[in-house]
Structure 1
Amino acid sequence: MMLRTIPLAVVIAFAAAPVLAQQATADAARDALAKKEGEGDQSALLKQTLTAVDKQYTLIRRNQLALTYDVSYSYVGEDRIVTDIANGSATLFNIENNNSHTVTNTFSADYGVRDNLTANVTLPLISRYADTAARSGLSNSIGDIGVGARWQPFEARRDQPGLTVTGNVRLPTGRSPFKIIAGSGEATGSGVGAATVGLNVNKIVDPVALFGSVNVTASLPAKNLWQVNGSRILTRVAPGPSVGFGLGFAYALSYGISTTISFQEAISAGSKLRFADGLEAKTHMQTSGILNLGLGYRVSPKTTVNFSVGIGLTPDSPNLIVGMNLPLSF
């Protein structure tokens, strides 16, 4: 606060001093709450938060490059019923307690092809530790690389919802779960290629941003397998299609702090299995639902670090997911 020297001739009467003191206090409060130069506004913070939440809601300018680092930890604990398929029926052997701990380091690069078109590639590095009644093991390997694009068909306007069309191709570069031999490590990939198309909508009503998404995923089959599964040999797996949707909101508590609450659900059709002896079987439909809680902290006018905690709501979901998103382009 700057203090100005006031000539004695303009000093007002002592009786008016309380009024001036109140006015000075109010001015100081307004100065403290006012947005500082370079601090940005809540809308910019919300856009950065949306980008970190799903990386689908905002685009970057033409010829710009944005690098991002994500790290997440997930825990899955379940009691698995070990069965064998014989003569078309399932035979119960025992019940195993399985625990899986996964740390995923993901490096992402986004490039602005046009102002309304962004291309991106993601490289995940996965460390997974699994502990079961029969064995335990640790694997460190690359995961499934993703290549995709985001397209904004209409110009973004402040008073209208933003619409983004997304497409992504997942390459089976990680260790396939269908080719893992018992005792040789853990899978770090899906084992199959897949393509996803989606639609995302967001609207900023300062200091709140509303967002939602829907997507469809189709996977290629895994062929030419030779994996021992009980007393049979698995030769082919055809994953079923899946549909996902999500919704949530971000709220700017101040010019430097934002919070997010979102819900995501994915419904996957059963996979078709084929064995060497000609037997075919199909798994049950799976539903994964996760509640996400996030906190964004602006460390600079252009950089926001986001932390998140995900809680699994269905038996097919991870029990716990903890993550951090850090832009590498400062």
Structure 2
Amino acid sequence: MIARTTPYARPALAGALASALLLAMPAHAQQTPPADAAKPADAAAVREALAKKEGEGDQSTLLKETLTSVDKQYTLIRHNQFQFSYDLTYSYIGQEKIITDLAGGGVSLFSIENTSSHTITNTFSADYGVRDNLTGNVTLPVLSRYSDSGSASGVSNSLGDISVGARFQPFEAKRDAPGVTLTGNVRLPTGRSPFKIIAGSGQATGSGVTAFSAGLNLNRIVDPVALFGSMNATLSLPAAHLYQVNGTRILTKVQPGASVGFGMGFAYALSYDISTTMSFQEAISAGSKLHFADGLVAKTTMQTSAILNMGLGYKVSPKTTVNLSVGIGLTADSPNITVGMNLPLSF
């Protein structure tokens, strides 16, 4: 960290510079100068020259801005203010898909084929300050998905699942105490449901069910690092009145299992314009129950998804910071890789 940008280093540095200036002077120059002569620099003058200029942020402010750039869910906006942002995300999933059928209550293996999926998600978000400690949020995703396998391939461009949520800060932020934010979110099944897709008609762009999520976020500034963490839980309503052919059976209802997730990470302001972040996220989902027209009920296995994210933020203007991130999947149920960009929008 450059000494000029570290507030607590300035007094010591100023005194050292002042002493060096005095010691470097000739002996006659250290004597009392004539009244009309210029006075030598003293500690106060050097300290004033090195002091923080008006409008120059300190380390704490930098870290708060960096934390806001990492994920806006950790910082609320003021009453009656709007904030808009655009997220562009690319993800790739490559795996071996097992083609099975359910017969007599058992699972019969037909074949194994390689599948790959490329997804580009454009997400538009709008935040509104209901109160200084309460922020409402709406997100609108638009997906383009390409999937390729041995049996079929295709491209789908469609609206994803719209989300409506809120963030609430129950306690006033204090310098020496962690910040606490409560979150709530409702995800609506506005995208193309995977339970209603007919083979060869395109790819799903939504979950197909309504889901409710609640979470707790914590953040703490420990100079020169900002730490953050989160926990959340999600419950989904069943997808009923289905009629999807699955092998030799007809799927009529799906009851998704509950899921829990957690994450942690840190943010570090390298300078007034550059910041870096690293975080880890994991989600554990219980198995889903599948109901078929002939009365058979099957249950899928539990899934665990984990991603390691690394990010870089660049402040292009006092009010605009572009954030880039790369995520690496750590489990078989995770995307192999994700690449994202976040950009605030101004109107």
- Fold shared by both chains (TM-score > 0.5): yes
Q: Within the alignment, does 1:249 sit opposite 2:266 as a pair? A: yes
- The 8 Å contact of residues 66 and 268 in structure 2, kept in 1 or not, is answered as no
Q: Is the partner of 1:154 in helix, strand or coil?
A: coil
Aligned partner of 1:7 in structure 2 is: none
Q: Which residue identity lines up with residue 263 of structure 1 in the other structure? A: F
Aligned partner of 2:194 in structure 1 is: 177
Q: Which residue identity lines up with residue 62 of structure 1 in the other structure? A: H
Q: Within the alignment, does 1:285 sit opposite 2:302 as a pair? A: yes
* Deviation for aligned residue 1:137: 0.5
Aligned partner of 1:8 in structure 2 is: none
Aligned partner of 2:13 in structure 1 is: none
Aligned partner of 2:278 in structure 1 is: 261
Deviation sequence 1:204-247 (CA, Å, 0-9, x none): 12321000000000000000000011111111000000000000
Distance between the aligned counterparts of 2:262 and 2:245, measured in 1? 35
Distance between the aligned counterparts of 1:69 and 1:221, measured in 2? 31
Q: Within the alignment, does 1:159 sit opposite 2:176 as a pair? A: yes
Deviation sequence 1:247-286 (CA, Å, 0-9, x none): 0000111111111010000000000000111100000000
Q: Which residue identity lines up with residue 95 of structure 1 in the other structure? A: I
- The 8 Å contact of residues 256 and 287 in structure 2, kept in 1 or not, is answered as yes
Q: Within the alignment, does 1:304 sit opposite 2:291 as a pair? A: no
* Deviation for aligned residue 1:40: 3.3
The percentage of counterpart residues that share the same residue type is 74
Query: Aligned pair count?
Result: 308
TM-score normalised per structure 2? 0.84
Distance between the aligned counterparts of 1:42 and 1:126, measured in 2? 39
Segments of 5+ residues of structure 2 without an aligned counterpart are: 1-24, 30-40
- The 8 Å contact of residues 209 and 238 in structure 2, kept in 1 or not, is answered as yes
Alignment of 1:23-34 (within 5 A): none
Alignment of 1:27-176 (within 5 A): 37-176=54-193
Deviates most, 35-44 or 92-101? 35-44
- The 8 Å contact of residues 182 and 215 in structure 2, kept in 1 or not, is answered as yes
* Deviation for aligned residue 1:15: 11
Specify whether residues 301 and 39 from structure 1 end up closer, same or farther in structure 2 by C-alpha distance, changes over 3 A only: farther
Distance between the aligned counterparts of 2:110 and 2:196, measured in 1? 23
Aligned with 1:212 (options 225, 229, 237): 229
- The 8 Å contact of residues 215 and 232 in structure 2, kept in 1 or not, is answered as yes
Aligned with 2:239 (options 199, 202, 222): 222
- The 8 Å contact of residues 134 and 169 in structure 2, kept in 1 or not, is answered as yes
Q: Within the alignment, does 1:202 sit opposite 2:219 as a pair? A: yes
- The 8 Å contact of residues 48 and 304 in structure 1, kept in 2 or not, is answered as no
* Deviation for aligned residue 1:48: 3.5
Aligned partner of 1:20 in structure 2 is: none
Computed over aligned residues only, the root mean square deviation of the Cα atoms, in angstroms, reads 2.1
Q: Is the partner of 2:231 in helix, strand or coil?
A: strand
Distance between the aligned counterparts of 2:324 and 2:172, measured in 1? 30
Segments of 5+ residues of structure 1 without an aligned counterpart are: 1-11, 17-22
Distance between the aligned counterparts of 1:128 and 1:42, measured in 2? 42
Aligned with 2:251 (options 226, 234, 245): 234
- The 8 Å contact of residues 42 and 255 in structure 1, kept in 2 or not, is answered as no
Larger Rg: 2
Deviation sequence 1:46-83 (CA, Å, 0-9, x none): 33433343331000011110001100000000001111
* Deviation for aligned residue 1:35: 5.9
Specify whether residues 42 and 127 from structure 1 end up closer, same or farther in structure 2 by C-alpha distance, changes over 3 A only: farther
Distance between the aligned counterparts of 1:184 and 1:319, measured in 2? 25
Specify whether residues 107 and 100 from structure 1 end up closer, same or farther in structure 2 by C-alpha distance, changes over 3 A only: same
Distance between the aligned counterparts of 1:232 and 1:54, measured in 2? 44
Q: Which residue identity lines up with residue 214 of structure 2 in the other structure? A: V
TM-score normalised per structure 1? 0.88
Specify whether residues 305 and 180 from structure 1 end up closer, same or farther in structure 2 by C-alpha distance, changes over 3 A only: same
Specify whether residues 136 and 258 from structure 1 end up closer, same or farther in structure 2 by C-alpha distance, changes over 3 A only: same
Distance between the aligned counterparts of 2:161 and 2:57, measured in 1? 36
